[in-house]
Chain A
Amino acid sequence: MKVFETTEKEEQAENDTFLSKKMQRRNFLTYAGASAAGLALVAAGCKKDHDNGFNRGTDLGKGDIGILNYAYALEQLEAAFYIKVVTTPYTNMSSLETEYMTAIRDHEVTHREYFKAALGNSAIPGLQVDFSSIDFKSRDQVLAAAKAFEDLGVEAYNGAGYLIKTPAYLTMAGKIVSVEARHAALIRDLISNGTFVGTDIFDANAINNSKTPIQVLTIAKKYIVTEINASNLPTS
């Protein structure tokens, strides 16, 4: 039933015929310095070994599966956050705010569960999160964190869109990112009415900013205990 089965098989085929991670390293050692092909592998090897903090731990995978797992990781983070917001509401949360927070929680859980179901065996495990830096009794802190998560989510989907190779997956990402943007606008308006857009999230052409996976993970890392390996994600 898995939506991403075809790609999963393709990925597997690629793995079988070419490079498991160990093989990649072995090739690197075998060919290094030996030929033009070797030089290319040296370059690839060096790039992989460059430590940006996201080259060990839970492997997101490569190709479209990698991007979908990346989205799944972010949805896990958002879902866990709003579950906690609803479980331990901040002081004086209004009934309208409770309604909104509960709805957003359910949307984020839905996104998370969708990715989990669609990715099937290719899905990364559940991530361990850490929100100890947020005082969940403080409206200001909770909304500030929510704003950061929602704006980051929009920037993440927008920055990863062009890396997706399968039209249906791109559409799927599009179906989710606009809902994240609706959340982002709402949260920003709850903080200060009328700030649904702003120069912190878009440019002079009124085009929303985007971020690369590494930029996003670098920001999200503060809240994710599980180490994430993003080194196999596509970069073009």
Chain B
Amino acid sequence: MNFLNILKDIEAIDPEITERLNPRRAAIKNITSFGSKIALSALPFALGTMFTKAYGQTNSSVNDVLNFALTLEYLEADFYTKGNAAINSTIPSEAARGALKQIEKDENAHVAFLKSVLKDAAIAKPTFDFEKVFPTVFTDYPTYLAVSQVLEDTGVRAYKGQAPSLLGNKVVLTAALGIHAVEARHASHIRQMRRALPTSGAGVFGVETPWVSLGANGQANDSGVGTAVDGNYVREDNIKHGDVTITDLKLSTGANISKKIAVESFDEPLTTAEVLAIANMFIVKK
């Protein structure tokens, strides 16, 4: 490992690098933002050496997380880019159109960001086919929103599941948490849009909450999309965190916390394998 040469290389691009690096920890943690020049030009290169040295995180493990995230963002960006164009005339209001456009823009920004960080290590965009799983997704507006919600909720769970792999990593973990929160904001809004759907006639779903709640029949999958997406909501009905069983605790009213509130109050992570299995449903094999 030629650490000093790497620092010299970075210095050529970012003269302040040595000031930013805390010499006692030799850590990239002190680089405060991905927006700095080093992030865009040399970060993946710097990551491997310094993380291995300081935290035992290898370049490949951090890149694996970033490529995993990129796969998801490719999927989401592709969904909205194709879907918003296809369903445009069916979107019932300018507000809804604007929200879907905003989400499309955000997902594409996430793709661009992850690609800029990964550079040559970035995986190629897979080919996605959403209609093979949900044939009417790009023609039926309520179905479009339902699948959108499932993808956003899954994105939240996927990022959450990766966080421990980035433990202590100021730059990458903080960015991942920042994307995680934006996916949650999207999910919240899409769920509100579903709730605003007509309460009778075609496209009825019923009551939806901005957060993942307990299903109507007490099941973990509250989406109303059916068992096809049970995997996306597996364990969302968990009520025990560490040694604390939430339903043993009390609300401000003095009543015990209900299972519904316990479920709503915490989003659960998905494992890498679970997320890839979900993503693979939509990926066209070559």
- Show the binding face of A for B, using Cβ within 8 Å: 1-3, 79, 83, 100, 103, 105-107, 109-111, 113-114, 117-118, 154, 157-159, 161-162, 164-165, 167-168, 170-172, 174-179, 181-186, 189, 193-194, 196-197, 202-210, 236
CB distance from A230 to the nearest CB of B (A): 18
User: Contacts A3-B243, A178-B180 given: A206-B95 contact, CB under 8 Å?
Assistant: no
- Chain B residues with CB under 8 Å of A193's CB are 95
CB distance from B60 to the nearest CB of A (A): 19
CB distance from A206 to the nearest CB of B (A): 4
Q: How far is the CA of A162 from the CA of B54 in the complex (A)?
A: 14
Q: Which of the candidate stretches B41-49, B168-176, B274-282 sits at the interface with the other chain?
A: B168-176
Q: How far is the CA of A132 from the CA of B29 in the complex (A)?
A: 40
Interface size for B (C-beta < 8 A) is: 65
- Chain B residues with CB under 8 Å of A182's CB are 184-185, 187-188, 210-211
- Chain A residues with CB under 8 Å of B192's CB are 186, 189
Which 10 residue pairs are nearest across A and B when measured between Cβ atoms? A3-B242, A207-B178, A181-B184, A185-B188, A167-B164, A208-B181, A185-B185, A206-B106, A178-B184, A182-B188
7 contacts between A and B (CB under 8 A): A110-B249, A159-B174, A178-B181, A181-B185, A182-B185, A194-B98, A210-B174
Nearest CB to that of A188 among chain B residues? B185
**Is A184's CB under 8 angstroms from B174's CB?**
no
Nearest CB to that of A96 among chain B residues? B195
Q: Which of B113, B185, B209, B246 is close to A103, meaning CB atoms less than 8 Å apart?
A: B209
Instruction: List which B1-52 residues lie within 8 A (CB) of chain A.
Output: 22, 25, 27, 29-30, 34-35
CB distance from B66 to the nearest CB of A (A): 13
- Show the binding face of B for A, using Cβ within 8 Å: 22, 25, 27, 29-30, 34-35, 95, 98-99, 102, 105-107, 109-110, 112-113, 156, 159-160, 163-164, 167-170, 173-175, 177-189, 192, 209-211, 241-244, 246, 249-252, 257, 261-262, 264-269
Q: Which of B29, B241, B242 is close to A162, meaning CB atoms less than 8 Å apart?
A: B29
Nearest CB to that of B94 among chain A residues? A194
- Chain A residues with CB under 8 Å of B269's CB are 171, 174-175
**Is B25's CB under 8 angstroms from A236's CB?**
yes
- Chain B residues with CB under 8 Å of A161's CB are 163, 173-174, 177
Q: Which of B22, B110, B249 is close to A206, meaning CB atoms less than 8 Å apart?
A: B110
Q: How far is the CA of A177 from the CA of B163 in the complex (A)?
A: 12
Interface centre among A100, A118, A154, A174 (most CB of B within 10 A): A174
Q: How far is the CA of A185 from the CA of B182 in the complex (A)?
A: 9
Q: Which of A117, A179, A208 is close to B182, meaning CB atoms less than 8 Å apart?
A: A208
Q: Which of A83, A196, A205, A210 is close to B185, meaning CB atoms less than 8 Å apart?
A: A196
Q: How far is the CA of A177 from the CA of B269 in the complex (A)?
A: 12
**Is B241's CB under 8 angstroms from A172's CB?**
yes
Q: Number of contacts between A and B (CB, 8 Å)?
A: 205
User: Contacts A110-B262, A182-B185, A205-B113 given: A174-B252 contact, CB under 8 Å?
Assistant: no
- Chain B residues with CB under 8 Å of A185's CB are 184-186, 188-189, 210
- Chain B residues with CB under 8 Å of A209's CB are 178
**Is A171's CB under 8 angstroms from B160's CB?**
yes
CB distance from B268 to the nearest CB of A (A): 7
Q: How far is the CA of A123 from the CA of B25 in the complex (A)?
A: 30
**Is B180's CB under 8 angstroms from A177's CB?**
yes
Nearest CB to that of A110 among chain B residues? B265
**Is A206's CB under 8 angstroms from B261's CB?**
no
Q: How far is the CA of A216 from the CA of B257 in the complex (A)?
A: 29
**Is A194's CB under 8 angstroms from B102's CB?**
yes
- Chain B residues with CB under 8 Å of A171's CB are 160, 163-164, 269
Q: Which of B112, B173, B246, B268 is close to A114, meaning CB atoms less than 8 Å apart?
A: B246
Q: How far is the CA of A168 from the CA of B242 in the complex (A)?
A: 8
**Is A208's CB under 8 angstroms from B179's CB?**
yes
**Is A196's CB under 8 angstroms from B99's CB?**
yes
User: Contacts A114-B246, A236-B29 given: A177-B265 contact, CB under 8 Å?
Assistant: no
Q: How far is the CA of A165 from the CA of B210 in the complex (A)?
A: 31
Q: Which of A2, A118, A189, A203 is close to B189, meaning CB atoms less than 8 Å apart?
A: A189
Q: How far is the CA of A83 from the CA of B253 in the complex (A)?
A: 9
**Is A158's CB under 8 angstroms from B174's CB?**
yes
Q: How far is the CA of A183 from the CA of B250 in the complex (A)?
A: 21
**Is A196's CB under 8 angstroms from B252's CB?**
no
CB distance from A120 to the nearest CB of B (A): 10
- Chain B residues with CB under 8 Å of A106's CB are 251-252, 257, 261, 264-265
